[in-house]
Amino acid sequence: MIVVMKPDSRDTDIKNICSILESLGLGVHISKGTERTIIGVIGDKRLLKDIPIDLMPGVEKLVPIVEPYKLASKSFHPEPSIIDINGVKIGSREIVLMAGPCAVESHEQVMEAALAVKRSGAKFLRGGAFKPRTSPYSFQGLEEEGLKILKEARDAAGLLIISEVTSEKSLEIAEKYVDMVQVGARNAQNFQLLREIGRSKKPVLYKRGPSTTIEEWLNAAEYIMSEGNYNVVLCERGIRTFENATRNTLDISAVPVIKSLSHLPIIVDPSHATGKSQYVQPLSKAAIAAGADGLIIEVHPNPMCALSDASQQITPADFDILCRDISKIAPIVGREFIYGGKLN
Amino acid sequence: MIVVMKPDSRDTDIKNICSILESLGLGVHISKGTERTIIGVIGDKRLLKDIPIDLMPGVEKLVPIVEPYKLASKSFHPEPSIIDINGVKIGSREIVLMAGPCAVESHEQVMEAALAVKRSGAKFLRGGAFKPRTSPYSFQGLEEEGLKILKEARDAAGLLIISEVTSEKSLEIAEKYVDMVQVGARNAQNFQLLREIGRSKKPVLYKRGPSTTIEEWLNAAEYIMSEGNYNVVLCERGIRTFENATRNTLDISAVPVIKSLSHLPIIVDPSHATGKSQYVQPLSKAAIAAGADGLIIEVHPNPMCALSDASQQITPADFDILCRDISKIAPIVGREFIYGGKLN
Amino acid sequence: MIVVMKPDSRDTDIKNICSILESLGLGVHISKGTERTIIGVIGDKRLLKDIPIDLMPGVEKLVPIVEPYKLASKSFHPEPSIIDINGVKIGSREIVLMAGPCAVESHEQVMEAALAVKRSGAKFLRGGAFKPRTSPYSFQGLEEEGLKILKEARDAAGLLIISEVTSEKSLEIAEKYVDMVQVGARNAQNFQLLREIGRSKKPVLYKRGPSTTIEEWLNAAEYIMSEGNYNVVLCERGIRTFENATRNTLDISAVPVIKSLSHLPIIVDPSHATGKSQYVQPLSKAAIAAGADGLIIEVHPNPMCALSDASQQITPADFDILCRDISKIAPIVGREFIYGGKLN
Amino acid sequence: MIVVMKPDSRDTDIKNICSILESLGLGVHISKGTERTIIGVIGDKRLLKDIPIDLMPGVEKLVPIVEPYKLASKSFHPEPSIIDINGVKIGSREIVLMAGPCAVESHEQVMEAALAVKRSGAKFLRGGAFKPRTSPYSFQGLEEEGLKILKEARDAAGLLIISEVTSEKSLEIAEKYVDMVQVGARNAQNFQLLREIGRSKKPVLYKRGPSTTIEEWLNAAEYIMSEGNYNVVLCERGIRTFENATRNTLDISAVPVIKSLSHLPIIVDPSHATGKSQYVQPLSKAAIAAGADGLIIEVHPNPMCALSDASQQITPADFDILCRDISKIAPIVGREFIYGGKLN
């Protein structure tokens, strides 16, 4: 960290700050420029977290030098992490697809979706049991009943399952059924929930919040990781911008940026990013071409009859075509995806 | 709602949609323009919430005509609501100020802040007991112990108290101590929590999320109100934009916009909006001049020693000057604020 | 267009609006809903452009039904346009690459870049002669001298050339040398310049502004097209958002969105979108996978010595690898790119 | 400026950078931290503008310490500037109001507006002669004829006049008639035009661009000032955000932020910020309460008949009420505004 002094700061101001820093066991390094004096702070900056250096007399601002997150940083762990979830390795050479309906509606719907996405090559079945909906008058999910349906489809189709948790209570329930929990964009800064997931050790798909910067996202991942849960996969799902031709703006650059800053795998959710099924295929291919480790896609046997987010769910037939294309793009970017799963 | 048909839609598409709408008990009204045919839908659009009309053959898009929120809408309740919280009336002619430290740190700190803000004219003492912090390594709040300290200061200074809740658990605890709960920006779309607050009937200060549009904000307030809790006060606290000279961008226009769309009172939080104490005074005066019903401001007896958000807390002395100025601006905009409280 | 009346509007208000509309030769269609009465307006809405219907007594708001742009719309021209520029067809099956240095610096630099990008398969050489720089103290471009250098490289390498124009004066000069002019993001709403380009009939690469919605972008293209110049190619180059890990946020969704709304070709500029050379390759591949008709990429023989935007220019060697990858991705998305050009 | 080295940089990388810096006449100051080595650069950083230090081996990033703008900075000129325009002093104790129609439409319209705003206390008459409109099919302004009408109203009412210029040509014409030129948001980064205005020495109202950060805005003001024209008044007019209840989001914080960074005066344009006349009064009062030096407001004798932007123009009667309120708010924030002008 650098402390930048005001042009009119006095020597006593500088001395005062240095003695505070030194009393905390930090080193200091003073550099006088033509316009400003700066103080380099040497040592663990977390010692300073509750000392408002920026309010001290003569201080203009603080400039961080090292990124504030540690456990998610490449500096801490230069090799990419591979998250092994019951044998499926996210972040490995293999592209991992997660697919399934927005919401679990019925046994038949889920089973049909599961068999279809498995046939095309998906490794995970997704489906919402606890649904955070913008209107209180919309379908809110089947809750534990929905998880049981997912579990049955899991065993029948030979897929792993992932489902969103929205509170500590739903986490406690979901843990018993799913292979991986998902934290949705609306809970991206629900630190209480992140901490509980950290304690649970369950693999987690952690979505970016709609107004979260990449740095804040990695900082918040620290809530999960600092509790000992390193099985974190990031998911870019679009950010809020002024453009409203799509529900959100897919920040495709987040893929290579995360790869340069963090060792955690990153997948992309084109369904929530755009909110429109017609854009899911081009953006899925774009995400793989940009280096994503996988995709999570909403697939419904009959989107017309979906009880939630009908507009963004694609058909199994379209998903199948997409899988075939992804199996061709993957090797061009040094990856692999096996099109056409086998039913067990 | 209007269903806009594609230029190349067929008569059978139009008939098909009309018969679905009519089968649900909705009226239809067809209008053929020079470029598009549109179908006006008459009746309660909530009947349609789970039918994806936009995916039907020949449909280009749906255009909503009536705002989706009801209970928060001025159409539902044309007169401004006055929320009476143990005798303090938010939304009345009187400007209501809430002030106090970002976090409850100690009995002495809170008591000193309480007496000071009371003397200047505040009606509410604020103070965080459950702190959602962006870094897991920062001070996380005193929790129930903090609420007890607030309660003691409440009784000593003759102020009402408000504190943030971040989960169902913290709500259960806070309800026993506070006069009003606060939902922070990070939980603005934590629908589970909003629903619980709706059930609790406790008056609530409901902050806007950093990427929430005004329409979404009013929609989400519906989660609280539809459970029977109408004691909702809105709080504008800045939105996320590309500008980073301030922590967020205070959307001052939200004040008159909310006044034109909703009957709920709205106050402004200049401390979180800017993140910098030096901007709190000008923005507080601006908010009152724009028609806000009150302010919530972070005041710390000694900002230099604050354990959280030191940079945005102002001193009791600055708060006092601000109160005096507000007492002068209020009458110009048809309001009243009595500068200088009395200790009981 | 739909006129939505207020809940408390009177019959005379409705009659008044209808008679104004009818006096202009427009048809009206009244539909009374349960909460609002709406008036459908039938005919050419441009007749209304200077009549503030939204200010008339009883009117709540206007809702547009048909997109405001005509010439750029797919409704006007359902087949994709192919822009033929001296034999290079943008929007055809072939992916077209434009590459070259940010700024024209010297004859040697341009010639080296031209031969290199030609060898890899580019069809256009790009290079800035008139540079809009954020600081007045930075290199501002060689102006006409730069265009002459580009022209020499054009003839030597057998490439077409494209260069930015920033004012009517620079347009007059550039027209004499280049095959295609470029309007940069900073001039995206310089309507005077757009109009002049419309009159010039020169093929134009029209970049999106950093805060321009897709609808506004297509509207502004109308300035060029309404003067008779239909040789417009759109270019997505990133929008301004709160994320600053990249210079702008590449709105990759703009590619399929434009394809669904307009017949105009769209290419992507990954160099300006990210501002960092290390992200150019993944985003270029993503753009092609998403369906873009081409790319414009900054390539400099020696980025370390570049006089402007050094950080975002890639080397000829990296460009060559990218071209090879694009030649493989293209057929998967139904396109073609021939890796390896021939010098003439 | 600080050069931050990568964790794995070598001593030769550091030496290499230091010798380049020293060869340019800059001083260096090396500081080894626990995680990174940083190099402080001492001297005029403009020497480095065309050397891409950030691309050199071992460099992670550059961190600026001093703001890049000089002439607009408070460091350069600590006292607030007062811009004297033919006797009207913007930035002095007196609040200065500019008012008038969006577009000049006729002699009668302008004269009526001029006399009305003068009576209420405005010092400047505004009116657009060159109109940048989003649609090419809208009214584009009376051009020089419009300026002549403004000039007549100027002399009749005893007001100064201000009008927008959109190109070098319109600047040449406008200079002959107006007391102050205005650069609109769409030309905020039209550096060619800014430079010409710099050369013209005409006082200029320089509006912020819709996606321009405050730092970029001050940087761009440098284009005007570095040509010798110091008569620059800034104007906040709203930025582009995801919120669309208003046309733009008025960044009210920009007022105190500019006051803390720059010596230039700043006024606010509530008409363009919101696009809706009903919000103009509350936001005008807010701007003055926040410390703005003045306002520019669209006032039309008959908004219903306006040829452009009818929705955002207020009536002379509403403007008069606003002026009275401002005369009361001004003294509370240490300013003065004399309600009720005198016709000469």
Whole-number percent of chain D with pLDDT over 70 = 96
Sign of the torsion formed by the C-alpha atoms of D314, D315, D318 and D323: positive
The answer as to whether B196 is a domain residue is: yes
Q: Which of C207, C211, C308 to mutate to test the interface with D (most CBs of D within 10 A)?
A: C211
Sign of the torsion formed by the C-alpha atoms of C83, C87, C92 and C94: negative
Q: What is the per-residue pLDDT for B133?
A: 67
Kindly tell me if the per-residue pLDDT of D256 is higher than 90.
Answer: yes
Q: What is the mean pLDDT of residues B66-90?
A: 92
User: Residues of C numbered 35-74 whose beta carbons fall under 8 angstroms of chain B's beta carbons: which are they?
Assistant: 35-36, 38, 40-44, 63, 65-66
Q: What is the per-residue pLDDT for C135?
A: 66
Q: How far is B310 from chain A (nearest CA, A)?
A: 6
Strand locations in chain B (E): 2-5, 27-32, 37-42, 59-63, 83-85, 88-90, 96-100, 124-126, 160-165, 180-183, 204-207, 232-236, 266-268, 294-298
In whole angstroms, give the CA distance from residue B36 to residue D142: 35
Which band of pLDDT confidence, cut at 50, 70 and 90, is reported for residue C266? very high
In whole angstroms, give the CA distance from residue B16 to residue B10: 10
Q: Which of C240, C243, C295, C329 to mutate to test the interface with A (most CBs of A within 10 A)?
A: C243
Nearest C-alpha in C relative to B67: C35
Q: What angle do CA C34, C38, C42 make, to 5 degrees?
A: 150
Which band of pLDDT confidence, cut at 50, 70 and 90, is reported for residue C341? low
Q: What angle do CA D159, D163, D168 make, to 5 degrees?
A: 140
Spell out which residues of chain A touch residue C329, defining contact as CB-CB under 8 Å. 289, 329, 332
Q: Which of A140-154, B84-98, B274-288, C25-39 has the lowest mean pLDDT?
A: C25-39
Q: Which of B34-48, B171-185, D128-142 has the lowest mean pLDDT?
A: D128-142
Q: What is the mean pLDDT of residues A75-96?
A: 95
Give the SS3 label for residue C271: helix
Give the SS3 label for residue D149: helix
Q: What is the per-residue pLDDT for D211?
A: 95
Spell out which residues of chain C touch residue A211, defining contact as CB-CB under 8 Å. 242
Same domain, A255 and A316: yes
Kindly tell me if the per-residue pLDDT of A135 is higher than 70.
Answer: no
Q: Count CB neighbours of C78 within 10 A.
A: 10
In whole angstroms, give the CA distance from residue D29 to residue D47: 17
The answer as to whether C78 is a domain residue is: no
Same domain, C54 and C142: no
Same domain, A34 and A152: no
Q: Which of A82-96, A216-230, B129-143, D92-106 has the lowest mean pLDDT?
A: B129-143
Predicted confidence (pLDDT) per residue in B81-124, tens digit:
999 999 999 999 999 999 999 999 999 999 999 999 999 999 99
**Residues paired with residue A232 on neighbouring β-strands, in sequence order:** A204
The answer as to whether D71 is a domain residue is: no
User: Are the beta carbons of A297 and A95 closer than 8 angstroms?
Assistant: no
Kindly tell me if the per-residue pLDDT of B343 is higher than 60.
Answer: no
In whole angstroms, give the CA distance from residue A119 to residue A320: 8
* CATH value at residue C48: 3.30.70.1140
**Residues paired with residue D297 on neighbouring β-strands, in sequence order:** D99
Stronger pLDDT, B140 or C333, i.e. the higher one: C333
Q: Of the candidates B27, B44, B65, which has its C-beta nearest C38's C-beta?
A: B65
Q: What is the mean pLDDT of residues C275-300?
A: 97
Kindly tell me if the per-residue pLDDT of A282 is higher than 60.
Answer: yes
Same domain, B137 and B258: yes
In whole angstroms, give the CA distance from residue B84 to residue C16: 43
Two tokens, residue D67: 């703001």
Q: What is the mean pLDDT of residues A182-200?
A: 91
Sign of the torsion formed by the C-alpha atoms of B282, B288, B291 and B293: positive
Same domain, C133 and C253: yes
C306 with D139: Cβ contact below 8 A: no
Same domain, B207 and B271: yes
Place of tokens 């006032």: D299
Kindly tell me if the per-residue pLDDT of D344 is higher than 60.
Answer: no
Boundary (domain end) residue, out of D15, D34, D63: D63
Same domain, D265 and D326: yes
Kindly tell me if the per-residue pLDDT of A126 is higher than 50.
Answer: yes
Q: Which of A98-107, B36-45, B87-96, C304-313 has the lowest mean pLDDT?
A: C304-313
Q: Which residues contact C23 (CB under 8 A, 6 or more apart)?
A: none
A211 touches chain C (CB under 8 A): yes
Residue type, C99: A
Spell out which residues of chain A touch residue C278, defining contact as CB-CB under 8 Å. 256, 260
Kindly tell me if the per-residue pLDDT of D135 is higher than 80.
Answer: no
Predicted confidence (pLDDT) per residue in B163-189, tens digit:
999 888 899 999 999 999 999 998 898
Q: What value does the mean pLDDT of chain D take?
A: 91
Kindly tell me if the per-residue pLDDT of C344 is higher than 60.
Answer: no
Nearest C-alpha in B relative to C36: B66
Q: What is the per-residue pLDDT for C133?
A: 67
The answer as to whether A176 is a domain residue is: yes
Angstrom CA distances, C208 to A100, A254, B48, C106, C118, stand at 35, 21, 37, 29, 27
Predicted confidence (pLDDT) per residue in B278-300, tens digit:
999 999 999 999 999 999 999 99
Q: How far is B195 from chain A (nearest CA, A)?
A: 9
* CATH value at residue B309: 3.20.20.70
Two tokens, residue A27: 């080193």
Predicted confidence (pLDDT) per residue in D281-324, tens digit:
999 999 999 999 999 999 999 887 777 777 889 999 999 999 99
User: Are the beta carbons of D252 and D267 closer than 8 angstroms?
Assistant: no
Q: What is the mean pLDDT of residues B28-57?
A: 82
A245 touches chain D (CB under 8 A): no
Which band of pLDDT confidence, cut at 50, 70 and 90, is reported for residue B48? confident
Please, how many CA atoms are within 13 Å of residue A37, restricted to the half-sphere of its CB? 19
The answer as to whether C72 is a domain residue is: no
Q: Count CB neighbours of C342 within 10 A.
A: 9
Kindly tell me if the per-residue pLDDT of A342 is higher than 70.
Answer: no
User: Are the beta carbons of C185 and C237 closer than 8 angstroms?
Assistant: yes
Kindly tell me if the per-residue pLDDT of C77 is higher than 50.
Answer: yes
Q: What is the mean pLDDT of residues D172-188?
A: 94
Q: What is the per-residue pLDDT for C343?
A: 47
Q: What value does the mean pLDDT of chain B take?
A: 91
Kindly tell me if the per-residue pLDDT of D240 is higher than 50.
Answer: yes
B32 with C42: Cβ contact below 8 A: yes
Residue type, B304: M
Which band of pLDDT confidence, cut at 50, 70 and 90, is reported for residue C34? confident
Same domain, D143 and D224: yes
Residue D74 backbone phi and psi in degrees, to 5 = -65, -25
D40 with A63: Cβ contact below 8 A: no
Kindly tell me if the per-residue pLDDT of C342 is higher than 90.
Answer: no
B138 with A54: Cβ contact below 8 A: no
Spell out which residues of chain A touch residue D244, defining contact as CB-CB under 8 Å. 242, 244
Q: Which of A270-279, B14-23, B89-98 has the lowest mean pLDDT?
A: B14-23
B251 touches chain D (CB under 8 A): yes
Nearest CA to A120 out of A293, A309, A314 is that of A314
Kindly tell me if the per-residue pLDDT of D343 is higher than 70.
Answer: no
The answer as to whether A68 is a domain residue is: no
Q: What is the per-residue pLDDT for D134?
A: 64
Q: What is the mean pLDDT of residues A196-224?
A: 95
Same domain, A232 and A268: yes
Number of domains in chain D: 2
Please, how many CA atoms are within 13 Å of residue B140, restricted to the half-sphere of its CB? 10
Q: What is the per-residue pLDDT for B337?
A: 97
In whole angstroms, give the CA distance from residue A150 to residue A128: 9
B75 with C32: Cβ contact below 8 A: no
Same domain, C168 and C242: yes
Same domain, B8 and B125: no
The answer as to whether D9 is a domain residue is: yes
Q: Count CB neighbours of D73 within 10 A.
A: 19
Kindly tell me if the per-residue pLDDT of A306 is higher than 80.
Answer: no
D253 with B287: Cβ contact below 8 A: no
Q: What is the per-residue pLDDT for D209?
A: 95
Nearest CA to C289 out of A250, A301, B73 is that of A250
Report strand pairing: C124-126 vs C160-165.
parallel
A68 with B186: Cβ contact below 8 A: no
Q: How far is A260 from chain D (nearest CA, A)?
A: 12
D226 touches chain B (CB under 8 A): no
Instruction: Domain of residue D194: give its range.
Output: 83-332
A167 touches chain C (CB under 8 A): no
The answer as to whether D75 is a domain residue is: no
Q: What is the mean pLDDT of residues D269-287?
A: 96
Sign of the torsion formed by the C-alpha atoms of B221, B223, B226 and B227: negative
Report strand pairing: A96-100 vs A294-298.
parallel
Same domain, C133 and C265: yes
Residue C239 backbone phi and psi in degrees, to 5 = -120, 165
Angstrom CA distances, C262 to C77, C141, D135, stand at 8, 34, 17
In whole angstroms, give the CA distance from residue B151 to residue B299: 18
Stronger pLDDT, B131 or C146, i.e. the higher one: C146
